[in-house]
Amino acid sequence: MATVPKPAPSSEKLKPGLSLFDSVTLVAGSMIGSGIFIVSADITRQVGTPFTLLMVWLVAGVMTIAGALAYGELAAMMPQAGGQYVYLREAYGGMWAFMFGWTLLLVIQTGTIAAVAVAFARFAGVMWPVFGSTLWFGAGGAGLSGERAGAIAVIALLTAANLRGLNMGKWLQNSFTTAKLLSLCLIVAVGCVLLPNPVALHANFGSSTAFFGTPSMSIAGAGIFGAAMVGALFSADAWASATFVAAEVRNPKRDLPLALAFGTGVVIALYILTNIAYLCELPASGSADAASVVGRGIAHASSDRVAAAAMQVVWGSAGAKLTAILVMISGFGCANGLILTGARVIYAMSQDRVFFASAGRLNRASVPAVALVMQGVWAAVLTLTGTYSELLDYVIFAQLMFYVLTVSAVFVLRRRLPDAPRPYRAWGYPIVPALYVIAASALMIDLLILKPRFTWPGLLIALSGVPIYYWTTRDRSARG
């Protein structure tokens, strides 16, 4: 009988201390960053109407949940440290797995950590102006902005906390995820139920034309819709990070599939409701030159801060400060989840002897200390370069490619290992995983056409791992 390879002995040294609740907060907490508070402005500028705004979030949400359901089968089959890295290795070989791990380290995980940390510091500047100032060091005018210093401090603090062990990391994750879920519930309750804005309600829902716009069907329109989904998809991204810590989940064969399904489902439902709340406070369309918050609408919210604009309609300047606090809570929790989980992929690469051996060592708290430090240092460097947002744009195509490959691995392993134990089988197989692969592949083609400046560099970042992989494996063979 064919079986899935067992975890390496060193993986067993990681202490399984994560419950189902902990796993759910990792999924949800890693997904909710600053995107939900911002990206609806850009989406609305592209698609134009309330209906299409909500449809973008709905389609992106359905894709996210479909992908998570497929990952659940792989997670239950192979509950090993590294998660997605392991699935790619077993389905396609070491090179594809290394390409994923390399891209994750180079920009996906670290770039996201950097961006979320900077968003935290930027919104902290609303409360404490020092984060918006310039801190000068040394002679010759060399300086460091308070915003970047704050971002580095967040990364250093959370890395240090996770070095103390899994219990500290999961406590932070549980606390901040609970807080930001309640924060989104507050926005939904205020916008949809307690204090909706009659002007926005009329502008967005007053007639079928206001809500749907002028009906039109075209290939160009479909392409714009696909491009607009990028913001929604990446606001809902990082759900797969929970698979990276599979070796530390107490009952991974049951809890990981449940956490992926429930965590993504809750977040997507809240995202759609939050956008409805925005539409209850602000018109979808507006004018960039308008003097009032309502006049600018969602599409032209100041600095794209849609949530702040919506809450400003309700509570004035106090609403903007409240939103800043909510984004800070969200960003802090998101960064913690990414830091906790990302280091486990670096650890798994080291265990396969395709990365520095030191990254595979555990400290006294049974966490991969060197991997955590490497990840933190590189994320801090990205905050200094100021290019992290561009790197995230570049990696869109590569990230989608790895999602498609991983969901396709369900088909590959069902054929290659038909008798392997599968405690959970992907819901809707083969239709739901196949539809995900088709939809994501279509989106990749769409991005190649509409955003070539970002997609081709993203592919090159992933491909840059190929020569490094062969160099490391050849060096390993030479050493015997």
Averaged pLDDT, 465-477: 81
Cβ-contact 107, 391 below 8 angstroms: yes
Backbone angles phi, psi at 218, to 5 degrees: -155, 160
CATH code for the part of the protein at 9-479: 1.20.1740.10
229-to-68, 117, 226, 278 alpha-carbon distances in Å: 17, 23, 5, 18
Cβ-contact 159, 151 below 8 angstroms: no
**155 pLDDT tier (thresholds 50, 70, 90):** very high
pLDDT digits (tens, 9 = 90+) for 95-116: 999 999 999 999 889 988 988 8
pLDDT digits (tens, 9 = 90+) for 430-450: 999 999 999 999 988 888 888
* pLDDT in the model for residue 475: 58
* pLDDT in the model for residue 131: 67
d(CA 402, CA 237): 13
Q: Label residue 39 left, alpha or beta by phi (over 0 means left) and psi (-120 to 50 means alpha).
A: alpha
Break the chain into its structural domains and give their ranges: 9-479
- Residue indicated by tokens 């890295």: 85
Half-sphere exposure of residue 320, counting CA atoms within 13 Å on the CB side?
Answer: 14
Collect all residues with Cβ–Cβ distance below 8 Å to 100 and sequence separation of at least 6.
Answer: 84, 85, 88, 402, 462
d(CA 377, CA 371): 10
Q: Which structure tokens are listed for 75?
A: 């997670």
Q: Which structure tokens are listed for 179?
A: 């807080």
* pLDDT in the model for residue 4: 46
156 CA to centre of own chain = 20
Helix 166-188 vs helix 252-281: angle between axes, to the nearest 10 degrees?
30
Tell me: pLDDT of 46 over 70: yes
Tell me: pLDDT of 43 over 90: yes
Averaged pLDDT, 339-353: 95
Summary mean pLDDT of the chain? 88
Collect all residues with Cβ–Cβ distance below 8 Å to 340 and sequence separation of at least 6.
Answer: 26, 162, 166, 169, 170, 173, 245
d(CA 157, CA 394): 28
**209 pLDDT tier (thresholds 50, 70, 90):** confident
Residues of the chain above pLDDT 70, percent: 90
Radius of gyration of the chain (CA): 22
- Residue indicated by tokens 């959370």: 158
* pLDDT in the model for residue 342: 95
Residues of the chain above pLDDT 90, percent: 62
* pLDDT in the model for residue 11: 43
pLDDT digits (tens, 9 = 90+) for 221-249: 677 888 888 889 888 988 999 999 999 99
Averaged pLDDT, 82-86: 96
pLDDT digits (tens, 9 = 90+) for 187-208: 999 999 999 999 999 999 998 8
pLDDT digits (tens, 9 = 90+) for 348-399: 999 999 999 999 999 999 999 999 999 999 999 988 876 555 666 667 788 8
Lowest mean pLDDT among 119-123, 138-142, 283-287, 368-372: 138-142
pLDDT digits (tens, 9 = 90+) for 166-188: 999 999 999 999 999 999 999 99
Averaged pLDDT, 18-26: 96
* pLDDT in the model for residue 477: 56
Tell me: pLDDT of 462 over 80: yes
